[in-house]
Copies of this chain bind each other. A is one copy, B any other.
């Protein structure tokens, strides 16, 4: 099994409606360090998992839809539910859709999967993993 990974980050504001989140019900924010990894059982014709340049620019494009925004107003997180887990899932689903549109020789081989890990602080992270 091979993998390739790249990193980026976004800075967002948000708050939570659910009282379980205590002080995080107040409007605050986070820098999410984003680490994505694509795993595949074999390399493609270019001896890589997938085109790392495409991977980075697609990730950057998705980051730009989130960076410097208030997630409380984002349709992907209705009812102020933008937990780190849900943000990771959202980014993974956006990435998977964009990767599907790549040229055959830029893609990962059949059987690939994707993991998106978000570091919200030096001591906490969450991730979401799905098939491609």
Contacts and interface: CB of A to CB of B under 8 A. Distances in A.
Interface of A: 1-9, 11-14, 18, 20-24, 26-33, 43, 46-49, 51-53, 56, 67-70, 81, 83-86, 88-89, 105, 117, 120-130
Given A11-B30, A28-B13, A29-B14, A5 B125 contact: yes
Copies of this chain assembled into the complex: 6
Nearest to A26: B68
Given A7-B123, A28-B29, A43-B83, 14 more contacts: A2-B85, A2-B126, A3-B117, A4-B126, A5-B126, A7-B124, A13-B13, A13-B27, A13-B70, A27-B70, A29-B29, A47-B81, A47-B83, A48-B83
A96 B89 CA distance: 26
A63 to B, nearest CB: 11
Given A48-B85, A67-B23, A83-B47, A122 B29 contact: no
